[in-house]
Amino acid sequence: MGQYIIEGGKSLCGSVRIQGAKNSALPILAATVAVGTPCVIHNCPDLSDIDATLKILRSLGCEVHRSVGTVSVDSSRISLNSIDDVLMREMRSSIIFLGALVSATGEAVMTAPGGCDIGLRPIDLHLAAMRKLGIRVAERHGKIRCSCKRVRGNKITLSFPSVGATENIILASVRASGVTTIINAAREPEIVDLAMFLNSCGARISGAGESVIVIEGVERLHSVQYAIMPDRIVAGTYMSAAAVTGSSVIIEDVIPSHLAPVFSCFEQTGCRIEVSGNKLRITAPKKLCAPDTIRTMPYPGFPTDCQAIMTAVASVADGVTLINENIFENRFRHVSELNRMGADIRVYDKVAVVRGVDRLQGACVDATDLRAGAALVIAGLCAEGVTTVNSIHYIDRGYDSLAENLTSLGVSIRRKD
């Protein structure tokens, strides 16, 4: 399970380089199954969710090699098109193998995915889209069996711009006969990264990053080397570390346009952000002002994955912040743990009312999911005394070398496994 033990009150200085994006690397690694020839993925972060994905690739018969930051996958000799329930339950993004396997083998057998307990996380949009593509979908005894001779392109309108459903449709239709159009597609940068990876393999995908994406099916795809884009959520996390400690920190390897909604929130707290190419410097005031109301929305709105860390920032800002979580129905689990540290946060259904306090107090708290765990670490950086964060295996899902990076910025943090 593991713990982080953090001594609060240190100010940060120096610079940190941002890892490759988890939510890009996961669908791109799954996409190597649809490519069907050897691919090399660079800037791949070292995370437990990546480990889980590589386990799935190996279980399917792919040849997988990993060195620091680079993963090579040869899916030319896939021997299986079903994924074991234990592997499916390890993370949400295992569902992305559905579209990739159908593309590669015409069949996929799996169970419902796992993932952080931040809501019900149904897959109805995924399965309805598969059926629209002419794929037979049978759900019996907890198993999902998908099959078809050849995927047929079609027009699919999503009732919600689901990231995972958009990715699954792209992966299922990339080698289909005919053209697929996704209406109300997710616009997240991770969708663009997936489309750029597939286009570099010879796919014909246009409109990624917009609400309408067109995928013209191609017969086959070819090998490629590809570098994953930087992780915008991890960048936001290190920005919040600087904000709560009144520090000035340089953050390297970012794509500023991906962080626009997060930038404006930090600026409202009084932080100054200076951008230069793919790096930024964030300089925080000694006392933060409470940001305006935060509403989580699909991209380019404020990202739900930054909600928990911004709740930690607001908890020590001067004033009151309303935080409206619109994406997941159970994503305030960090609130009770922050209140253990002296925060003053009340939750009314989808809205958290955060009254900033002078200072948090160090305490023993539990991470309940990936971003909630990150929020507790951020709170520990500015709390008085020592904070112990338990169950940090959740944090390992999305943060590569978190303790090492924070230590290099001047934080007193140590890991106890």
Q: For ligand EPZ, which residue has the nearest CB?
A: 164
C-alpha distances in Å from residue 18, one per residue of 238, 239, 267, 364: 9, 11, 21, 28
Q: Minimal distance in Å, beta carbon 398 to ligand EPZ? A: 5
Binding segment (CB under 6 A) for ligand EPZ, from list 22-30, 248-256, 264-272, 348-356: 22-30
User: Count residues contacting ligand EPZ (CB under 6 A)?
Assistant: 28
Hey, what are 230's tokens?
Answer: 């930087």
Query: What region does 184 belong to: left with phi over 0, alpha with psi -120 to 50, or beta?
Result: left
Residue (of 217, 205, 158) closest to 185 by Cα position: 158
| CA distances from residue 135 to 89, 103, 152, 182, 385 in whole angstroms, order as listed | 23, 10, 8, 16, 57
Residue 160 touching ligand EPZ (CB under 6 A): yes
Q: Residue 121 interacts with ligand EPZ (CB under 6 A)?
A: yes
Q: What are phi and psi of 351, to 5 degrees?
A: -120, 130
What is the closest distance, in whole angstroms, from the C-beta atom of residue 170 to ligand EPZ in the complex?
Answer: 13
Q: Find the shortest distance in angstroms from Cβ 345 to ligand EPZ.
A: 20
Residue 163 in the binding site for ligand EPZ (CB under 6 A): yes
> Which stretch in 53-61, 132-140, 159-167, 344-352 sits in contact with ligand EPZ by CB under 6 A?
159-167
Q: If binding is defined by CB under 6 A, does position 323 make contact with ligand EPZ?
A: no
Question: Which residue has 């709560």 as its token pair?
Answer: 244
The contact mask relative to ligand EPZ for 171-190 (x = CB under 6 A, - = no) is ---------------x-x--
Instruction: Report 75-114 residues binding ligand EPZ (CB under 6 A).
Output: 92-93
122 binds ligand EPZ (CB under 6 A): yes
Neighbours of 10 (CB within 10 A): 17
- Nearest distance from residue 120's CB to ligand EPZ, in Å? 6
* Set 39, 44, 116, 306: catalytic member: 116
| DSSP string for 277-315 | TTEEEEE--SSPBPP--EEB-STTSB-GGGHHHHHHHHT
- Find the binder of ligand EPZ among 77, 80, 86, 124 (CB under 6 A): 124
Of the residues 12, 100, 123, 259, which one makes contact with ligand EPZ according to CB under 6 A: 123
Interface residue with ligand EPZ among 36, 114, 153, 164 (CB under 6 A) is: 164
The answer to whether 34 and 62 are in contact (CB under 8 A) is: no
Would you call 116 a catalytic residue per the annotation?
A: yes
Pairing of strands 294-295, 320-324: parallel
Chain centre distance of CA 387: 25
Q: Which of 90, 231, 305, 337 binds ligand EPZ (CB under 6 A)?
A: 305
- Pick from 126, 175, 232, 333 the residue near ligand EPZ by CB under 6 A: 126
Distance CA 221, CA 406 (A): 41
Structure tokens at 378: 């951020």
Residues of this chain that interact with ligand EPZ (CB under 6 A) are 22-23, 26, 92-93, 116, 119-126, 160, 162-165, 186, 188, 304-305, 327-328, 370-371, 398
Q: Which residues form the catalytic set?
A: 116
